[in-house]
Amino acid sequence: MPSSAFARGARLAALPVGFAGRTALGVGRRLGGAPADLVLTEVQRRTADQIFSVLGQLKGGAMKFGQAMSVFEAALPEELIGPYRETLTRLQDAAPPMPPGTVHRQLAAELGDDWRELLVEVADLPSAAASIGQVHRGTWHDGRDVAVKIQYPGAAKALRSDLRQIARLSRLFGVISPGVDVKPLVQELQDRVAEELDYRLEAEAQAAFAEAYADDPVVDVPAVVHGTERVLVSEWMDSERSLAGIIADGDHEERDHYGALFARFLLSGPERVGLLHADPHPGNFRILPDGRLGVVDYGAVARLPDGMPSAIGRLLRLALEGDAEGVSAGLREEGFLRPGVSIAPSVLSTYLEPLVEPAQVEEFTFDRAWLRAQAQRLSAPGAEGMGTAMRINLPPQYLLIHRVWMGTIGVLSQLGATVPVRGILEDSLPGFATA
């Protein structure tokens, strides 16, 4: 990981320079007679290629932002997303590893010079590598196979620096994802940096999930073995694929099965644990040999000790029943509509349709075409599109819930999964089930 703030900043700063050059070239081509939509697509494609190449090389906040953005790829036009879908998927699942010497130094710094008395064996090459750390297989002193998650040296400094820089580039990222409001996403990542950098907090959250799901027949959460600020040791989970692999080459049965398990897990957490797993990118959801879904990475969680807010289920039920006035009043009460902001209930209902439509039937098939159509409609100029979006407020207490909800829809659309949405909501969402 390039640790110099100057070096990292220079790479990120090169992105708008490259975009400006491509845009100027595009204007020249349009003056030369090239179709405007063709020129725009080419600018977007080349911008995306450069963005995700830089994000993957830098790791840190740049990589984490790329992973957060990658769950929205299903909403982008096929002619744009096609050339770099593979790059996005790679960001979800992997990154270049640290050398063994660096790994050993990090272990000594966190576990002590006698760290091999605790961790008697550790693989030199990682089993997985992601935004701020990588995972190595090892053997604990009691004989257990373990996964050793090690934070990259300099990750804290790099993460904060990257997110400050990315915040300045939010307009540029909007070029390749015009339907996604990037600024709140970056702000949310900035607000939660401290928690994600402290693996002790992650260990607490993971231990709570592991206890709550210890006897679950379809979900597995690895138990925590040991944790420090920058090293987290968990029981090893045998898995060679993640949901990213199912997205790439899974059959219909796998897509439906794991899509349903994925959605059920995310919605059941607040009720069972008082926590919401808030990082729904596919690399965190592992395919186990016995058909269960293994879930890792608890660095980002929303603390919901009283479970998911009942207002969500109640308002969704009102929307299903066609009570536009009730939905409008409830959204205002929850802070989604600020005082003085007026949106016709019928317009608001139309705007919320992507959230409501999957619950209107017993089973709903998510796919990229459906999500692209919704994203294009909601980002279009006019009263029911961008005009409505700009007048809706997202209260702070709903930031992570919104991220998980939209991320879940994005992943299910990538999977093309047919999921019993209504039944999952009735089982897991307070206020939704009818009497």
Per-residue pLDDT reduced to its tens digit, 141-188: 999 999 999 998 877 776 666 666 666 655 555 554 444 455 665 666
What CA dihedral angle connects 411, 416, 417 and 422, to 10 degrees?
Answer: 80
Over the range 358-368, which residues count as b (16 or more CB within 10 Å of their CB) and which as e? bbeeeebbbbb
pLDDT at res. 28 = 34
Per-residue pLDDT reduced to its tens digit, 37-91: 333 345 555 655 555 555 545 444 455 555 555 545 555 555 544 544 454 445 4
- Mean pLDDT on 230-240: 95
| Structural domain boundaries in the chain | 310-428
Q: CA-based Rg of the chain, rounded to a whole angstrom? A: 22
Residue 351: which pLDDT band, with cuts at 50, 70 and 90? confident
- Mean pLDDT on 317-322: 92
Pairwise CA distance, residues 81 & 271, whole Å:
36
pLDDT at res. 177 = 47
pLDDT at res. 427 = 93
DSSP for 80-98, please give it.
HHGGGHHHHHHHHH--PPP
- Mean pLDDT on 333-341: 84
pLDDT at res. 98 = 83
Residue 116: which pLDDT band, with cuts at 50, 70 and 90? very high
